[in-house]
Structure 1
Amino acid sequence: MAEDCGIPGSLLKVERQTLYEVDGVPMMRRFFEYNEKIRNFEAKPDDVLIIYVARNAKDVLVSYYFFHKLNLRMPETGSWEEFFESYLSGKVAWGSWFDHVTTWWDIRQRQQVLYIFYEDIVQDPQRVIERVSPFLGRTFGRTVIDEIMKHTAFSNMKDNPMTNFSNLPWFNLKVSPFMRKGKVGDWKNHFTVAQNERFEKEYQRRMAKTSLRFTDDL
């Protein structure tokens, strides 16, 4: 029966997880169980370089919905309409998109954080590479940059088992590939007019006090 529904037999023993709250943020079980160790981890600031990649909220919603659908270790999504509401209210794994992107934006100058945008990677990958390399203390020549651009091109990553996660037994790729489209603006194929209006209203409210700006169409 499950095979007929598109679920391979190897996936039948994988159980969808429930979420646990950690300081008001919904977390997966493993993060909940190891929360104390994570909190007590100490690293010297000079030893840690963080590259934070942010993506516009609407495309993240769509991507996250399909990620939940294909990843049988993630909580159930419910319908698109239900997941839309859960995402907008921050009641999804790892919490609110708004809190996540603005918190990292606010600390980017106090810590060694390079804040880059997914949309910039799509539009001008070479420019992003040229920002990343000095941050890592490296200098890349033209040949190396070309190789990086080749191997990180979405079409190549989609065909690469090391990046498309086709070898993970709990990913049901019959539902959706892990590397779906990689485009900016795919949200327009999923949001209704009413959902977009509702989203925009909440977005403007939550982002009113930050200088952080995103592009949701190219």
Structure 2
Amino acid sequence: MVLMSLHAGTSLLQEVVFLVSQGADPDEIGLMNIDEQLPVIEYPQPGLDVIQVIYMARNPKDLVVSYYQFHRSLRTMSYRGTFQEFCRRFMSDKLAYGSWFEHVQEFWEHRLDSNVLFLKYEDMFKDLGTMVEHLARFLGVSCDKTQLEVLVENCNQLIEQCCKSEALSISSCRVGVWRDVFTVSMNETFDAYYRQKMAKSDLSFDFYL
């Protein structure tokens, strides 16, 4: 089992998946070494045998804000340019991991494969119950209605903890954070580019909740 998110809340996804699969206490998650059981595919592990993949996609406007903050937080080779410059590099596919648009559409095409679970980051805040139910089914976790409700509540508690502990000046975990950063001009340019790159795909995102 590996996770793929291209910096769309990788750590949060990892902890939610671990909680659902193990029934762990959300207060204890931070004390556990979950990397061994749930490796992230972006960080190769020796001898990793890819059997199942959980992929999480996030709307690209929020993602580029989070990605910018991630680059700014790096102790080595930390990015010191403006967000506008960073966003232009994102749209020009000049950041690490290549084109987000190609990456997300390639996995979307495999969303019906039995060994792939395609999730959207925004669903953790819009419809957590359905997302946890899908996760449990994919992970082979058997639970009745009451047990599912407990899982959903625990996941909700975990998500709230992660968002409250956000150390950055802008809480990059919330949906719609891009509205605090994008100028009108940047938003218009990004929208035009987004429509062009996603024109042939039926994949859609929630930019507002």
Does the alignment reach a TM-score above 0.5?
A: yes
Bigger Rg, which one: 1
Could you state the TM-score of these two structures normalised by the residue count of structure 2?
0.69
Of residues 190, 198, 203, the one that matches 2:194 is 203
Q: Distance in 2 between matches of 1:119 and 1:101?
A: 15
CA offsets, 1:174-195, max 9 Å, x none? xx27x93522111111111110
Q: Distance in 2 between matches of 1:111 and 1:75?
A: 39
Deviation at residue 73 of structure 1 after TM alignment: 3.9
Q: Distance in 1 between matches of 2:77 and 2:117?
A: 29
Establish whether residue 114 from structure 1 lines up as the match of residue 105 from structure 2. Answer: no
State the AA in 2 paired with 1:124: D
Establish whether residue 137 from structure 1 lines up as the match of residue 128 from structure 2. Answer: no
Within-5 A mapping of 1:1-218: 43=49, 48-73=51-76, 75-110=78-113, 112-153=115-156, 154-158=159-163, 173=167, 176=168, 180-218=171-209
Structure 2 CA distance for partners of 1:58 and 1:152, relative to 1, 3 Å: same
Does the CA-based 8 Å contact 2:62-2:172 persist in structure 1?
Answer: no
Out of 93-102 and 148-157, give the one that drifted further.
148-157
Unaligned runs of 5+ in 1: 1-29, 165-172
Q: Percent identity?
A: 33
State the AA in 1 paired with 2:51: V
State the AA in 2 paired with 1:190: V
Deviation at residue 212 of structure 1 after TM alignment: 0.9
Unaligned runs of 5+ in 2: 1-41
State the AA in 1 paired with 2:141: R
State the AA in 2 paired with 1:155: E
Aligned length: 166
Q: Distance in 2 between matches of 1:74 and 1:51?
A: 30
Could you state the TM-score of these two structures normalised by the residue count of structure 1?
0.66
Q: Distance in 2 between matches of 1:105 and 1:90?
A: 19
Deviation at residue 159 of structure 1 after TM alignment: 5.8
